[in-house]
Amino acid sequence: MYDMTVESARIINEEGVKSVAVVGLHPAEGYELLRRGWSRKEVLDFMRRGIDLAAEYVKNGKAVGIGEIGRPHWDVPKDVVDLFNELLEYAFGVAKDVNAVVHLHLERNGINTASSIIDMVKRVGNRPYSVVMHHAEPIVIDIANDNGLMPSIPMGRKGEFEEAVKYGPRFVVESDFIDDPKRPGAVIPPWTLVKKLRTYLINGFIGEDFLHTLCVENISRVYGVDVMG
Ligand SMILES: [Zn+2]
């Protein structure tokens, strides 16, 4: 599956869209293994191997980052949260060693969610803006950005981009893969994201400078990619 992701990025690049690959094991993966009766240790070992393998991909230049990794966004017992926190801290360490970007899948618990990640990242010492909070809430933009995290705001959720803009261009925006057919429109595909941004620009809700910071400067800050070049 990592290879499929890398290959997808390569194909998109050939079509003229700048693309880099980020590979990793989603927390749902580990959660499902627990649910099927794997022991805590077995799940930790398996998920750590997934992180180590992702780091190999970064080391040999196939990928730039590790993700989505993180915590379940649904309610789980505390010992399960602890397990995923242990994995997160491990992943931050590995990412720092190979200078990898990290994409985080997290619960949406506002400032609490952001603070817990800030603490870990500070302890480990990852490069500023190398950690992306995927599906972030606008309310975390200031605290995340002030502490060297990059919040990524989903464009599909009603009113959230409008809310995010109030904080200034201190975030990135995202599309996502809809994994639940019962919630159409909960997240949007990349081509719709582009259309939406263009509409916001045309109707004057954002200016060109704002869009440039969001989609060129902030992307370069995280991934080291020049999207204009
Ligand atoms: Zn996610």
Q: Ligand 1 mean position to 134 CA, how many Å?
A: 6
pTM reported for the whole predicted model? 0.96
Distance CA 179, CA 31 (A): 16
Q: Round to whole Å and give the CA distance between 153 and 134.
A: 7
Structure tokens at 121: 């990242």
Q: How confident is the model at residue 44, as a pLDDT?
A: 98
HSE-CB of 135 using CA atoms within 13 angstroms: 20
Q: Which helix (H) or strand (E) holds 103?
A: strand 101-105
Give me the pLDDT at residue 179, please.
74
* pLDDT tens string 117-161: 999 999 999 999 999 999 999 999 999 999 999 999 999 888 999
H-type helices in 36-166, by residue range? Answer: 40-59, 78-98, 110-124, 141-146, 160-165
Average pLDDT over residues 72-79: 95
The proportion of the chain whose per-residue pLDDT surpasses 90, expressed as a percent, equals 90
Task: Tell me, in angstroms, the distance from the centre of ligand 1 to residue 204's CA.
Answer: 30
In angstroms, what is the span from residue 84 Cα to ligand 1's centroid?
14
Domain map of the chain by residue range?
A: 1-66+78-97, 106-229
Q: What is the CATH topology of the domain spanning 106-229? A: Rossmann fold (3.40.50)
CA of 172 to the centre of ligand 1 (A): 15
Q: Which of 145, 147, 127 is nearest to 223 (CA)?
A: 127
Phi/psi for 162 (5° steps) reads -55, -40
Instruction: State yes or no: pLDDT of 186 exceeds 80.
Output: no
206 versus 186: the higher-pLDDT residue is: 206
Residue 66 CB contacts under 8 Å (≥ 6 apart), including other chains: 22, 23, 24, 51, 54, 55, 58, 91, 94, 95, 100, 101, 102, 103
- Residue 216 C-alpha to ligand 1 middle, in angstroms? 23
Q: Which pairs from 12-20 meet CB under 8 Å and 24+ separation?
A: 18/225, 18/226, 18/227, 20/63, 20/64, 20/65, 20/223, 20/225
Evaluate if residue 82 carries a pLDDT over 80. yes
Average pLDDT over residues 206-226: 97
Q: Pull the structure tokens for residue 103.
A: 């994409």
Distance in Å, CA 68 to ligand 1 centroid: 6
CA 90 to ligand 1 center in whole angstroms: 19
- Ligand 1 centre and the CA of 126: distance in Å? 21
DSSP character at residue 129:
T
C-alpha dist (Å) from residue 203 to 65, 197, 199, 208: 35, 10, 6, 12
Report the alpha-carbon angle 168-69-156, nearest 5.
Answer: 45
In the chain the first and final C-alpha atoms are separated, in Å, by 29
Question: What mean pLDDT is predicted for residues 70-96?
Answer: 97
